[in-house]
Amino acid sequence: MNAVNAAGWRPSMGDSGQATGGVATASGDYGLMLEEALSFELGAEGKCGVDLDAADRAPMPGLSKFLRKEAPALPGLTEPEVVRHYTRLSRQNYAIDLGPFPLGSCTMKHNPRLNEKMARLPGFADVHPMQPQATVQGALEVIEQLADWLIGLTGMASVAMSPKAGAHGELCGLLCIRAALDARGEERDVVLVPESAHGTNPATAAFAGFKVESIPATPAGRVDLAALKEKLGPHVAGVMITNPNTCGLFEPDMKAIADAVHEAGGYVYCDGANFNAIVGKVRPGDLGVDAMHINLHKTFSTPHGGGGPGAGPVVLSEALAPFAPLPFVTRGPDGDIHLVEEENRGEGHGRSFGRMVAFHGQMGMFTRALTYILSHGADGLRQVAEDAVLNANYVLRACEDVLPAPFAKSGPCMHEALFSDSGLAEGFSTLDIAKGLIDEGFHPMTVYFPLVVKGAMLVEPTETESKAGLDRFIASLRSLAERAKAGDESLHSAPHFAPRHRLDETQAARKPVLVWQG
């Protein structure tokens, strides 16, 4: 019988019954998590869950040329085989309903089922972008209410609701800044981006036509204010700053940064992806922010990943509000809500930079986010931030004695705990810890990001994880760190108990096998 350690690691046994240090079994199976063949490999000719009668009439005139000369090469499977095949595949798909996603800077938290129920109401689920506005007053009111909440929570003047995701929101904010500079008759072409910003920030600035100049971080993991001030000048359009930053730290000089940029004639863009760490506690508008996107999936629990749907509303200061994109929602004197889609309609919107999307869209995301906000209220949203920060600090302090935490001495972290692989035995790295977590039944944390830390391991537990759940994760992380520090060679080949073992990631990227060859 296999031994089980305190963190749940089960070393495999060799023929002699001695532990082999976690070598995978010959079949690749472990427990009930089976190695699943392709449907083509499972099927056999002549097996089918459905009996199909032969055609009792000739094809319609002109269609006989389309008749198959031979049967299609489809797998033959019985109905139980089909059901079991896809059920087994689904069990190999890790999901938030199975366990935590400790991905730093991604905020993969539980989405309350109440949100899903509301989004599936017929009036919301079936709404169409081409419907007459008179028939979608309820949907437009949801957009207006959500917009009011976002403005209030951020302390900003207005919000553009049409951007589809975080990077799309970044582009929206920079296009507003460009439009404002054009209105002033200024040709500023540089955007400053700190090292601790999200990776999309410099990419978006370049895509918007700006040159990017990097701002270094201090040893404490924050923006170097002095270095930023040295780069300011008439050529600088603004700064893109992530706060809290990708090191999981709040920028205490945020107001000083904004004041310096404004004095130099630039604008302040804040990446709001980590707004869940400060929602209800800090209003970015009070810190001098001019534009900030809000990832609804991160802060307000709409679905995350899979290529969409997404929503990245952008809140704007008074200076940038007139340049917001179309369309936008407004309430008329008659009390009806209107979707303004023409540039010459709506007071103060004659300088809009135009449209980013064909339709407003994202109705499901708006409905889920507003449901989340209304079910929590202002006090509940404040607790969301407090619990997210509490959980991250719990992980940080519980593991800092076995994994180096480069900024732990700088004080509490925000919503993320950041570790380094610098304390592991020679030859062991972050990748070994991440792959080992799969054997422990956990999705790995974000690895090798942010780049300012060697072998970074960025853990974001989110506010929806319980203390008991965090204790299980912490026990596994500590066990893996101790094994890596002791030079346990079995970690180099982890995971051992997953259906798919460690791949050659370089070859997997360069020579992927995407097609089954029968």
Question: Which runs of E-coded beta strand occur in 204-333?
Answer: 211-215, 236-242, 267-271, 291-293, 314-316, 328-331
CB atoms within 10 A of CB 304: 18
Alpha helices per DSSP H over 300-404 = 363-399
β-pairing verdict for 211-215 and 190-194:
parallel
Per-residue pLDDT, 74: 83
Give the three-class secondary structure for 434.
helix
Contact 326, 355 (CB under 8 A): yes
Strand order across the beta sheet in which 417-419 lies: 417-419, 457-459, 446-447
The angle at the Cα of 439, spanning 80 to 39, to the nearest 5 degrees, equals 25
Verdict on whether the full-model pTM lies above 0.85 = yes
| DSSP-assigned states of every residue in 150-181 | HHHHHT-SEEE----SHHHHHHHHHHHHHHHH
Give ∠ CA 342-344-345 in degrees, rounded to 5.
70
Calpha distance 94→89 (Å, rounded): 10
C-alpha separations of 189 from 232, 238, 289, 292, 418 in Å: 12, 9, 19, 20, 34
Q: What is the pLDDT of residue 463?
A: 95
The strand pairing partners of 418, in sequence order, are 458
pLDDT at 343: 66
Kindly state the tokens that stand for 197. 């910003």
pLDDT of residue 29: 57
Q: Which residue bears the tokens 């869940």? A: 276
- CA atoms within a 13 Å half-sphere pointing along the CA-CB vector of 279: 28
Q: What is the DSSP string of 99-157?
A: S-B-BTTT-B----HHHHHHHTSHHHHT--TTS-GGG-HHHHHHHHHHHHHHHHHHT-S
Q: In three state form, how does the secondary structure of 32-62 look?
A: CECCCCCHHHHCCCCCCCCCCCCCCCCCCCC
Cβ neighbors of 278 (< 8 A, separation 6 or more) are 244, 250, 385, 414
Residue 504, Cβ neighbours under 10 Å: how many?
A: 9
- Residue 99: how many other CB atoms lie within 10 Å: 16
Domains of the chain are 113-369 (3.40.640.10), 379-502 (3.90.1150.10)
Tokens of 445: 């944390």
Buried b (16+ CB within 10 A) or exposed e, 248-280: bbbbebbebbbebbeebbbbbbbbbbbbbbbbb
Neighbours of 355 (CB within 10 A): 13
Residue-level pLDDT, tens digit, the chain, 518 residues = 333 443 444 443 333 333 344 444 455 555 566 778 899 889 888 788 777 787 788 888 889 888 888 878 888 898 899 999 999 888 888 888 889 999 998 889 998 999 999 999 988 899 998 899 889 999 999 999 999 999 999 999 999 999 998 899 999 999 999 999 999 999 999 999 998 888 899 999 999 999 999 999 999 999 999 999 999 999 999 999 999 999 999 999 999 999 999 999 999 999 999 999 999 999 999 999 999 999 999 999 988 765 556 899 999 999 999 999 998 888 888 888 888 887 654 454 568 999 998 887 789 999 999 999 999 999 999 999 999 999 999 999 999 999 999 999 888 999 999 999 999 999 999 999 999 999 999 999 999 999 889 999 999 999 999 999 999 999 999 999 999 999 999 999 999 888 778 888 889 889 988 887 76
Query: What single letter denotes the amino acid at residue 142?
Result: V
Distance from CA of residue 449 to its chain's centroid? 14
In this structure, the number of other CB atoms found within 10 A of the CB of residue 82 comes to 16
Q: Which two tokens stand for residue 160?
A: 């553009």
Q: What is the C-alpha separation between 244 and 251, in angstroms, rounded?
A: 6
Distances (CA, A) of 282 to 155, 244, 287: 9, 11, 9
Q: How far is CA 152 from CA 146, 263, 381, 492, in A?
A: 10, 26, 12, 50
